[in-house]
Amino acid sequence: MKTDVAIIGAGPAGLYLAQMLHNAGINSVLLEAKSEDYVIDRVRAGVMEQGAVDTLKEIGVGEGVEKDGLVHDGIIWRFDGQDHYIDVQKLTGGRSVIVYGQQSVVRDLINARRKYSDIHFSTPVTKIEDTHGKPKVHFELDGKPVVLECDFVAGCDGFHGISRQTIPEAEQKIFEHVYPYSWLGVLAEAKPSSHVVIYSHHENGFALSSMRSEEISRLYIQVNNDDSADNWSDDALWDELELRLGNGVKDFKINRGPILQKGITPMRSYVCETMRYGNIFLAGDAAHIVPPTGAKGLNLAVGDVRVLSAGLKEYYAEGKTEWLDKYAETCLDRIWKVERFSWWTTTMFHPAPDASDFDVKMQLASLNYLANSEIGAASFAENYVGLPYAV
């Protein structure tokens, strides 16, 4: 089997890239280890930067987000028993964020891909050879071994994928920070308790109130790394969410309902600066991870594949490799700024288990400064709505 580009992974990175390449007349084979249901059922990102939405529309897959995306011009911060509305739209001269769950994004992109090509679900790639020549990608189709020969491999296979593992460890330039807390995430059939996302710094720990639609709430609380979703009854979870999100706001009541899914998300910052190895290019979570506080995981993946797509278009249209040759350097400039923002918002909002009273005072002073300084809030807002793309 032969193609131009082998795309490993049908998450946001792989699916956005597949559509970009198709629009440019570049052939690709998309290989996904899990089933279609598994990929679409995974409840992950919720907030899209304006740029990620604009990109979806540019590549011709904007109908769903146009119809069902919830445009948010601001967010609420709660701390020290105070309520602050951060008007990101005003602070950034008109840019917003859009709540449109990752499940919907991948569903829309899968449906688009199906119009012109296959996605091979339940087809894990088991080996990648000849990385510096014409890469050979190994997998099985209908129980038979297949070798796919291609010009390039797009490693869009997430943090646990095979692409980064194909790069010799000695060649991998890794940076990592693990946080002393995790998120317990809840998806519930309950009307969101606020029309915008609430970020709450509470002495018991951080809490966040978001949504997937007008009927579905998405909520998180900070928990210790050794905690488990099984330790929390539904009532205990709702009570803690109400306490932390209420945060001194008079008569705050959380809308309760059947819990559809709950799970623990560990928190880490991670960058593999070796985003290119021969003709393998890493994109999205395969190259980097951010703690979810800043809502940047999916959005960073889009930034990477915009650069990779530009490089592949230049190669196939003009035979040049300028964008491909500077792929890692170009992506890392934006990646590190977003890693910083995600680390900053995480450390500002989450009282660590071993935090001193002084540490907490510094968090509250930072929040108080930003919420009451237009310059400070604008600095937060320009990162939150999304930094400019390199291309």
Positions marked active-site:
72, 199, 292, 296, 384
Contact status: 262 vs ligand PHB (CB under 6 A): no
CB 304 within 8 Å of CB 13: yes
Contact status: 161 vs ligand PHB (CB under 6 A): no
Contact status: 12 vs ligand FAS (CB under 6 A): yes
Nearest of 20, 86, 10, 1 to residue 306 by alpha carbon: 20
Among ligand FAS, ligand PHB, none, what does residue 162 contact (CB within 5–8 Å per kind)?
ligand FAS
Q: Using CB atoms within 10 Å of the CB of residue 250, give its burial: 0 to 12 exposed, 13 to 18 middle, 19+ buried.
A: exposed
Contact status: 295 vs ligand PHB (CB under 6 A): yes
Contact status: 47 vs ligand PHB (CB under 6 A): yes
Among ligand FAS, ligand PHB, none, what does residue 275 contact (CB within 5–8 Å per kind)?
none
CB 121 within 8 Å of CB 35: yes
Contact status: 197 vs ligand PHB (CB under 6 A): yes
Contact status: 339 vs ligand FAS (CB under 6 A): no
Among ligand FAS, ligand PHB, none, what does residue 197 contact (CB within 5–8 Å per kind)?
ligand PHB
Applying the rule CB under 6 A, the residues between 120 and 149 that interact with ligand FAS are: 124-125
Q: Which is nearer to ligand PHB, 246 or 294 (CB)?
A: 294
194 phi/psi in degrees, rounded to 5:
-150, 150
Residues 18, 33, 75, 188: which binds ligand FAS (CB under 6 A)? 33
Of all helices (H) and strands (E), which one includes residue 98? strand 97-99
Residues in the chain: 391
d(CA 98, CA 95): 10
Give just the sign of the alpha carbon dihedral 14, 290, 46, 236. positive
d(CA 150, CA 211): 41
Contact status: 61 vs ligand FAS (CB under 6 A): no
Residues 123, 210, 299, 330: which binds ligand PHB (CB under 6 A)? 210
Q: Which residue is nearest to ligand PHB (CB)?
A: 46
DSSP of 276-290? EETTEEE-GGGTEE-
Report the interhelical angle of 374-385 vs 327-349 (nearest 10°): 130
Binding window for ligand FAS (CB under 6 A); candidates: 12-20, 224-232, 234-242, 377-385:
12-20
Contact status: 291 vs ligand FAS (CB under 6 A): no
| Interface map 297-336 toward ligand FAS (x if CB under 6 A) | xx--x-----------------------------------
Among ligand FAS, ligand PHB, none, what does residue 151 contact (CB within 5–8 Å per kind)?
none
Closest distance to ligand FAS from the beta carbon of 293 (Å): 9
10 phi/psi in degrees, rounded to 5:
-110, 50
Task: Classify residue 319 by its DSSP letter.
Answer: S
Contact status: 265 vs ligand FAS (CB under 6 A): yes
d(CA 235, CA 253): 14
24 phi/psi in degrees, rounded to 5:
-95, 5
Residue 23 CA: distances (Å) to CA of 61, 92, 354: 11, 31, 51
Among ligand PHB, ligand FAS, none, what does residue 293 contact (CB within 5–8 Å per kind)?
ligand PHB
DSSP of 227-270? --GGG--HHHHHHHHHHHHHTT-TT--PPP--EEEEEEEEEEEE
Residues 18, 22, 29, 32: which binds ligand FAS (CB under 6 A)? 32
Q: How many residues bind ligand FAS (CB under 6 A)?
A: 32
Closest distance to ligand PHB from the beta carbon of 219 (Å): 9
Nearest of 293, 202, 215, 205 to residue 252 by alpha carbon: 202
Of all helices (H) and strands (E), which one includes residue 49? strand 47-49
Contact status: 28 vs ligand FAS (CB under 6 A): no
Contact status: 11 vs ligand FAS (CB under 6 A): yes
Site residues, ligand PHB (CB under 6 A) = 46-47, 197, 208, 210, 218, 292-295
Site residues, ligand FAS (CB under 6 A) = 8-14, 31-34, 39, 44-46, 102, 124-125, 156-158, 161-162, 265, 284-285, 292, 295-298, 301
